[in-house]
Structure 1
Amino acid sequence: MKKDIYVVGAVIIENEKILCAQRGPTKALPYKWEFPGGKIEKDESPQEALQREIKEEMHCKVEIGEQIDYTVYEYDFGIVHLTTFYCKLMEGKPSLTEHASIKWLSPNELSSLDWAPADIPTIEKLSKVFLAK
């Protein structure tokens, strides 16, 4: 039986661009793009986990806004439950610690990257939201 893995992702928006992070070569799903974040620890809320992960991975602080999506995707290594949130950069600039690369893209450019499958429903929602503006 596959393990359930609960994770959070930050859709960090600045100047109408969204932060995209490319997974490193030694990670599961190497070189796939994702929204930065990580696993929810025991006794942590999704928002607390996201604050902690962004601070650890990106060396910056975000304000967490409303939830965008909740996706369940079955990979070879387990079943990922991904919750994504709108985030605003409050302190610092994102830096590379665990990711191979980061990019700031406009919503209509997101689909040009090779995303981890669990992140794709969030991208589709973001495209609809920004098209509606």
Structure 2
Amino acid sequence: MKNLQVVAAIIIYQGKILCVQRGRHEFDYLSDKFEFPGGKVESGETGEEALIREIKEELSMDIRIDSLFCTVEHQYPDFFIELNCFICRVSSYRHTLHVHQQSAWMDPGLLAELDWAEADLPAVYQLIVEKPF
């Protein structure tokens, strides 16, 4: 079973959080689910370097990483994921979707209304309770 080191950006702009929706995925349980954008940490990269690279590739956005928000460990049926979620800022809401089917800027209190990937749920619930921005 694979063990993946993954990073995610909780991107905040004017009090709203960017949520992105996956398209079809090789694992049905991840298809069409919302997530915080990000991806796998490659060999030789720090989590922060991977996150900056992934957000540039996926959304054509430049982010400023503020801090690590939480770490989630989750066992999916086909792999184990360690997900480090970072609070990030941007200077504009503009982005281009390169790998996701849609996006939404959401008020933190409404995050639970989306259909999230399971590994993202602990961060979603923590954001709703703590409102760290």
Normalising to structure 1: TM-score of the pair?
0.93
Q: Which deviates more, 113-122 or 86-95?
A: 86-95
1:98 equivalent in structure 2:
99
User: Alpha carbons of 1:37 and 1:27: their partners in 2 closer, same or farther (altered >3 Å)?
Assistant: farther
Q: Which deviates more, 6-15 or 25-34?
A: 25-34
For residues 94 and 14 of structure 1, the distance between their equivalents in structure 2, rounded to whole angstroms, comes to: 12
Q: Tell me how far 1:91 sits from its aligned partner.
A: 6.5
For residues 21 and 8 of structure 2, the distance between their equivalents in structure 1, rounded to whole angstroms, comes to: 13
Residue deviations 1:41-70, cap 9 Å, x none?
A: 001000000000000000110001111110
Name stretches of at least 5 consecutive residues in structure 1 with no aligned partner: none
Task: State percent identity of aligned pairs.
Answer: 38
Normalising to structure 2: TM-score of the pair?
0.93
- Coordinate RMSD, CA, aligned: 1.6
User: Alpha carbons of 1:91 and 1:109: their partners in 2 closer, same or farther (altered >3 Å)?
Assistant: closer
Q: Does 1:22 align with 2:27?
A: no
Residue deviations 1:89-117, cap 9 Å, x none?
A: 14682211100110000000000001011
Q: For residue 52 of structure 2, what is the amino acid of its counterpart?
A: Q
1:38 equivalent in structure 2:
39
- Counting matched residue pairs gives 131
1:68 equivalent in structure 2:
69
User: Alpha carbons of 1:94 and 1:69: their partners in 2 closer, same or farther (altered >3 Å)?
Assistant: same
Q: Tell me how far 1:85 sits from its aligned partner.
A: 0.3
The structure with more strand, counted as a fraction of residues: 1
For residues 26 and 117 of structure 1, the distance between their equivalents in structure 2, rounded to whole angstroms, comes to: 14
2:89 equivalent in structure 1:
88
1:3 equivalent in structure 2:
2
